[in-house]
Amino acid sequence: MAYAIHMEREPEIKLEEWIESVNSTEGCRINNEGVSAINPNTGEEIHISGTEGDVEVLFQTKGFLGIGKKSSWEMCITFFEGRASFKPTKDFEFTETPVRVVIFKLARQLSAKVVGDEGEVYEW
């Protein structure tokens, strides 16, 4: 199983307040519909169902000299049984990583803490 980071608190986060917090936070949005991808070998479309409270994060890349800016929404955060979870990427240590920015905004709003699978607390 892959390493994950979680946002949690006591009492656990209620789905309704999670959705409200996500809806009021720039750079993220609820996506309960899941994700689709194309199998490059067969061309078959594969769909993975989402769950209520799943969150997409906005990623923006700047082209050379600011030309060719691209934006994409990517499914990053799952919400299950009162906590949000995501798999950190190599760039998670950088302060401006979109997932990191969003998760800490949400954690502050919900008075939650961000912890790793091994119990370590992240406080940036």
Based on the number of CB atoms within 10 Å of its own CB, is 36 exposed (0-12), middle (13-18) or buried (19 or more)? exposed
pLDDT, one tens digit for every residue, the chain (124 residues): 589 999 999 999 999 999 999 999 999 999 988 788 888 999 999 888 888 999 999 999 877 776 778 899 999 999 999 999 999 988 888 888 999 999 999 999 999 999 999 999 998 7
Domain ranges of the chain: 5-119
> In angstroms, rounded to a whole number, what is the distance separating the alpha carbons of residues 109 and 121?
17
pLDDT of residue 1: 55
